[in-house]
Amino acid sequence: MLKILSAGFLVLLLLFGSGQAMADDEFIIALESDITRMDPIGIQDATTSQVAFQVMERLLARDYDGNLVPALATDFEPNEQGDEWTFFLREGVTFHDGSTFDAHVAKWHFDRARGEDSNFRGQFSIVEDVEVVDDYKIKFYLERPSAAFIDNTIMTNAGYIPSMQAYEEKGEDFGYEPVGTGPFMWYDWEPGEEINLVRNDNWWGDGPLLGAVTYRVIPEASTQIVELETGGVHLVTRGLQEDVQRIMDRPEFEVVTSPAYRNRHFLLQQEKEPFNDILVRQAVSYAIDMKTIVEILAYPLMEPAVSLIPDASWAFTDDLVDYGYDPDKAEELLLEAGYTRASNGKFEKDGETLEIEILCPDGRYFMDKQISEAVRHQLVELGLDIRITIQEWGAFLDRAFAGDFQMAYLGWNQSSPEPSLFTDALVKTGGRANDAGISHEELDELLIEAMKVPDIEERKVLYAEAQRIINENAWFIFIGNESMVWMFPANVQGFNPSPAQSEDLTQIYFSN
């Protein structure tokens, strides 16, 4: 009897045990927030986009260095004026539901992307028409020549092409059961917990080597690290400086960091007191030793920045006004702006102390709160009255979008080195993230011109001039460029992430 019992117990243990252990070809990735709807024309957030990348594909992809490489299109060519773009589609590709990928599906998709329901219709508005030339050839007719056409349309989230058959069968539900052509297929999703993908054996490319990919939702950065150390996840892409340092020191883990297209800055509200005066903007810029602050508090996950366009972009120049740390100069500028030092050491004008509120989100950006505190400390030492208001992300965004701030800690992420993604959104008149109402005629002209010129060297010159204007006006105090970091066990092979291409999991396998 005892034997039977213990044998039964053993069987139970085996069953239970095997259920708990990870399959040895399953790769588990930590996500900081859950995904939303997977309909490409509605995807607005980075986590959903990251999962969509495995299930669906774009016409083109990027390699390690950010160069465009074939994906669902094998090649493309613009006409001479640059207002007609032809894509040659890959033959023999099937969606996970067995339907065929061809020019008709592509046209159907891009018509949706241009349509009413699309969050990307603004970017796609440059497209006048999409034409099916033959079964494997599709042509985009543009309103006007555009140098950034591919970056602004094909390479956005709306560039992921889903199955038309799945859309017709499932209707709006297909956003929750996405069907694409990607290396991994949708399996299931426990909201708030995990997303499971399995290998697509019929993928047209080389691989994937893994049997399954699982995304686990773990909001806390420190919990993600604990999970990495205890084997609960294989890939973590964020962490506190101290934790990252600790993981770096351990030989059983690999840590890759890379500068990314992620600018962090204080935006000064130039429409309101006191930052409507350029002298005050410049004074505050000189009063902050941002380089030291960033190096101490955030390096290596953030590196000091001097321009709105990230260092990693081809358009970056460092031939700009240098707002290095110079408190004397800051004082001089404030005096010039009409402020005087009161008996208590504070600066005042017409009997009123110079007060500034720093608006800061609560941990949305790496070390945002600590950096704001350090900045506050230096400005207080200069003799300003500084108050920090930390607000939860939703409330913070409401105020930021409404321009209701004096000095706000903001960031802008892109996955491409294209400079217009930064300049046109943030400083062009009416730009979609131009929250301080910046409007500068000469700058606008430069930015419009830079979108018309196809030659990269000519564009470089124009963007260098644009960056000079931006810095001379001191609308921003640049904090840094946030790096990307990938932490994974050393036995993970075939993973070679870069800011341009961080999501390719097809060559990953585990060595022992």
Cα–Cα distance list, 45 to 38, 51, 173, 240, 401 (Å): 11, 11, 19, 22, 17
Please report how close the Cβ of residue 379 comes to other proteins at its closest, in angstroms. 12
Kindly provide the b/e burial profile for residues 398-408, where b requires at least 16 CB atoms within 10 angstroms of the residue's own CB: eebeebebbbb
Q: How many CB atoms lie within 10 A of CB 255?
A: 18
Residue of the chain from 217, 321, 395, 461 that contacts other proteins (CB under 8 A): 395
Residue of the chain from 322, 362, 398, 404 that contacts other proteins (CB under 8 A): 362
Stretch that binds other proteins, among 12-20, 85-93, 137-145, 364-372 (CB under 8 A): 364-372
3-state helix, strand, coil in the chain (%, to 5): 35, 25, 40
Please report how close the Cβ of residue 364 comes to other proteins at its closest, in angstroms. 12
Stretch that binds other proteins, among 1-9, 206-214, 381-389, 447-455 (CB under 8 A): 381-389
CA distance 245 to 242: 5
Per DSSP, what are the bridge partners of residue 255? 487
Residue nearer to other proteins on the CB measure, 114 or 376: 376
Per DSSP, what are the bridge partners of residue 391? 361
Total residues contacting other proteins by CB under 8 A comes to 26
Tokens of 440: 């500068």
Q: Does 374 bind other proteins (CB under 8 A)?
A: yes
Instruction: Give the per-residue contact string, 223-262, with other proteins (x = CB under 8 A; - = no).
Output: -----------------x-xx--x----------------
Please report how close the Cβ of residue 389 comes to other proteins at its closest, in angstroms. 6
- Which residues, in sequence order, are CB contacts of 23 under 8 Å at separation 6+? 211, 212
Please report how close the Cβ of residue 378 comes to other proteins at its closest, in angstroms. 9
Please report how close the Cβ of residue 388 comes to other proteins at its closest, in angstroms. 5
266-295 positions binding other proteins, by CB under 8 A: 292-293
- Which residues, in sequence order, are CB contacts of 236 under 8 Å at separation 6+? 30, 224, 225, 227, 228, 486, 487, 488
Please report how close the Cβ of residue 344 comes to other proteins at its closest, in angstroms. 15
Whether the Cβ atoms of residue 189 and residue 46 lie closer than 8 Å to each other:
no
Residue of the chain from 387, 429, 472, 490 that contacts other proteins (CB under 8 A): 387
Residue nearer to other proteins on the CB measure, 240 or 433: 240
Tokens of 508: 């990953």
Residues that bind other proteins (CB under 8 A): 221-222, 240, 242-243, 246, 292-293, 296-297, 362, 369-370, 372-374, 376-377, 380, 387-392, 395
